Amino acid sequence: MSEIVDNDLIDRQPEPEAPKPVERKPISTESEWTFDLIRQYDEAIAICAKEYKLETYPNQIEVISAEQMMDAYSSVGMPVGYHHWSFGKQFLQTEKLYKRGQMGLAYEIVINSDPCIAYLMEENTMMMQALVIAHACYGHNSFFKGNYLFQTWTDASAIIDYLIFAKNYLAECERRHGIEAVEQILDSCHAIMNHGVDRYKRPSPISAAEEAKRQREREEYLQKQVNDLWRTIPLKAGDKEIKNKQRFPAEPQENLLYFIEKNAPLLEPWQREVVRIVRKVAQYFYPQRQTQVMNEGWATFWHYTLMNRLYEKGLVTDGFMLEFFQSHTSVVYQPPFDSPWYSGMNPYALGFSMFQDIKRICEHPTEEDKKWFPDIAGSDWLETLHFAMRNFKDESFILQFLSPKVIRDFKFFTILDDDTENEYQVTAIHDENGYRAVREQLARQYNLSYRDPNIQVWDVDIRGDRSLTLRHTPIDRVPLYDKEVGEVLKHIHRLWGFDIHLVSVDGDKATKSYHCPEKPEPEEEEMED
């Protein structure tokens, strides 16, 4: 019971290698791939996928070289990326790590688009290509198509067109306003990209219809010049009617980019459009950030299942399977917390184990399972799995489906780090009393509201100096990372054009405040003019 994941595999390996001999007619026996073989494997896998009711977008498989893979990496998974130095930095870093052999490249990258684009590396062996096709073209692809977050937040058929629009638009801006000017706006937008998404509201998906609407928006912009917000009637000094001062925005706004795009007083139309582009890109990636465990787990579960299915049908050789198991095992390896290789949870490992476990609970429920999962124990596994894939995100998925068995297998334990205490405390482990606590805590770790600091637009001093006040509401007293706050505020200042204040609050009490430009000490109240 030392290596959780290995045990999993050993438990299951005999399944496909069940004694009844199948007549083997392998699709191929060599490790070299050809385009023809890729097509044959894809067809075979597609047939298996259909047996399991996987619904996918049409697939577009593109074979690329290692260098192209590094390119794909550095545009953070956008098949068509606009130009920005940070992508160049990413590229240099990838290139360095790869060339020194410190990092292997991913075997594939898959794009949430319709058709679903999957990049396969030419260096892969035939087995690897088949694995990757199963993983990306049928696993991820069906996840993109089925999961509610992706359906709500992204429009797979429009994304490529939108990215092309964005790239061309930014190139045009660079031509007109200079690379520097565009780069500055992009830098600033990137700094608050994680705060450029509506967490709770359903956004309008990117679509062609919206492109048409854009024209109207430009007019709206002109309108905005005279709209109520900035129509300031100078007040006499001392005549401050603080009493009925209305806050703007009336409700705090969590989407900083959206707020800036719509309300920043000084941005020019093209700059607003740039803000919008970054916002849309952030929105496109938002579901992916929330479904790492599920998405990878789902894809891994299916490459595992589909590969085994190919073997059952006699379409692949024993050697193929051995090679497959080796790759698969390393993909789902979870180093323990004290291992030098530990860098947090491996989403592949957790997701794969959970989906396998759901299947197990459906097919062979134990007494414990029946107690914990009365709804699904003994149900149709395939239907249950599809249900789970469609209707959850990481946080809710873990909260709903993490079973005591998986908690035991991973030997999870929860540590509390309270800065008012001198010691860490182990608050729960993988035992009867701890299951629920561990599960809740792990789920929470995947809640983006806990991962990103909660910062909202609190107030704009419309009738005064037009300063923008943001409010940081810490959870469990976790403060902001001091060293970067100042830099981020500078970026927001660039976009907003007037003073920026950021206040960390505890209840209604301000605990810490940051300003840009940095506030002179409160001594000098003297203001000329």
Partner 1 sequence: MGVTHVIDRRLNGKNKSAVNRQRFLRRYREHIKKAVADAVNKRSITDIDRGESISIPSKDIGEPNFRHGKGGRRAQTHPGNKEFVTGDTIPRPPGGGGGGGSGQGQASDQGEGMDDFVFQISQEEFLDFMFEDLALPNLVQKQLKETSNFKYVRAGYTTHGTPAKINVIRSMRGAYARRLALSGNARKKISDLKEQLEAIKRSPMPPDPVFSKEDQIQALEDEIKRLKGRIQRIPFIDEIDIRYNQHIKQPKPATAAVMFCLMDVSGSMSQTHKDIAKRFFILLYLFLKRNYQKIDVVFIRHHTSAKEVDEEEFFYSRETGGTIVSSALKLMREIMEQRYPTEDWNIYAAQASDGDNWNDDSPRCSKLLAESILPFVQYYSYIEITPHEHQMLWHEYEKLMESYKERFSMQQIMDEADIYPVFRKLFQKQAEHLA
9-48: which residues touch partner 1 (CB under 8 A)? 35, 38-39, 42-43, 46
Which is closer to partner 1, CB of 377 or CB of 395? Answer: 395
Output the CA torsion 457→512→480→443 (10° steps): -80
Here the tokens at position 115 are 């058709």
Q: Are 118 and 132 in contact (CB under 8 A)?
A: yes
Binding-site member from 156, 197, 306, 345 for partner 1 (CB under 8 A): 345
According to DSSP, the residues that pair with 300 across neighbouring strands are none
Binding-site member from 27, 52, 187, 230 for partner 1 (CB under 8 A): 187
Q: Could you write out the DSSP letters of every residue in 290-311?
A: H-HHHHHHHHHHHHHHHHHHHH
Q: How far is the CB of 180 from partner 1 (least distance, A)?
A: 9
387-446: which residues touch partner 1 (CB under 8 A)? 410-420, 422-431, 433-434, 438, 441-442, 444-445
Q: How far is the CB of 494 from partner 1 (least distance, A)?
A: 12
User: Which range of residues in 269-277, 303-311, 330-338, 372-380 is near partner 1 by CB under 8 A?
Assistant: 330-338
Cα torsion 353, 355, 356, 358: sign: positive
Instruction: Give me the half-sphere count of Cα atoms (radius 13 Å) on the Cβ side of residue 309.
Output: 19
> If binding is defined by CB under 8 A, does position 123 make contact with partner 1?
no
> If binding is defined by CB under 8 A, does position 170 make contact with partner 1?
no
Question: In 3-state terms, what secondary structure has residue 388?
Answer: helix
Q: Could you write out the DSSP letters of every residue in 74-133?
A: HTTT-SS----HHHHHHHHHHHHHHHTTS-PPPSEEEE-SSSEEEEEETTS-HHHHHHHI
> If binding is defined by CB under 8 A, does position 452 make contact with partner 1?
yes
Q: How far is the CB of 261 from partner 1 (least distance, A)?
A: 18
Binding-site member from 111, 132, 192, 388 for partner 1 (CB under 8 A): 192
Q: How far is the CB of 83 from partner 1 (least distance, A)?
A: 5
> If binding is defined by CB under 8 A, does position 168 make contact with partner 1?
no
User: Which range of residues in 91-99, 148-156, 204-212, 493-501 is near partner 1 by CB under 8 A?
Assistant: 91-99
**What span, in angstroms and rounded, lies between the C-alpha atoms of 465 and 514?**
17
Q: Could you write out the DSSP letters of every residue in 17-84?
A: T-SSPPPP--S--SS---HHHHHHHHHHHHHHHHHTT---PPEEEEEE-HHHHHHHHHTTT-SS----
Q: How far is the CB of 217 from partner 1 (least distance, A)?
A: 27
Which is closer to partner 1, CB of 81 or CB of 139? Answer: 81
Output the CA torsion 392→293→478→522 (10° steps): -80
Binding-site member from 119, 162, 373, 401 for partner 1 (CB under 8 A): 119
Here the tokens at position 135 are 């993983």
360-379: which residues touch partner 1 (CB under 8 A)? none
> If binding is defined by CB under 8 A, does position 380 make contact with partner 1?
no
CA distances from 136 to 27, 58, 316, 393 (A): 20, 12, 19, 19
Q: How far is the CB of 81 from partner 1 (least distance, A)?
A: 8
Q: Which residue has the tokens 């067809």?
A: 43
Q: How far is the CB of 486 from partner 1 (least distance, A)?
A: 8
Which is closer to partner 1, CB of 24 or CB of 451? Answer: 451
By rule CB under 8 A, what string of x and - marks binding of each residue 240-279 to partner 1?
A: ----------------------------------------
By rule CB under 8 A, what string of x and - marks binding of each residue 127-146 to partner 1?
A: ----------x---------
Q: Could you write out the DSSP letters of every residue in 131-193?
A: HHIIIIIIIIHHHHHH-HHHHHH--TTTHHHHHHHHHHHHHHHHHHH-HHHHHHHHHHHHHTG
Binding-site member from 478, 511, 513, 517 for partner 1 (CB under 8 A): 478
**What span, in angstroms and rounded, lies between the C-alpha atoms of 326 and 86?**
35
Q: How far is the CB of 219 from partner 1 (least distance, A)?
A: 33
Which is closer to partner 1, CB of 385 or CB of 407? Answer: 407
> If binding is defined by CB under 8 A, does position 57 make contact with partner 1?
yes
484-523: which residues touch partner 1 (CB under 8 A)? 484-485, 487-488, 491
Here the tokens at position 503 are 């206040």
**The residue count for the chain:** 529
First CA to last CA distance, the chain: 76
> If binding is defined by CB under 8 A, does position 56 make contact with partner 1?
yes
The site that binds partner 1 (CB under 8 A) totals a number of residues, namely 109
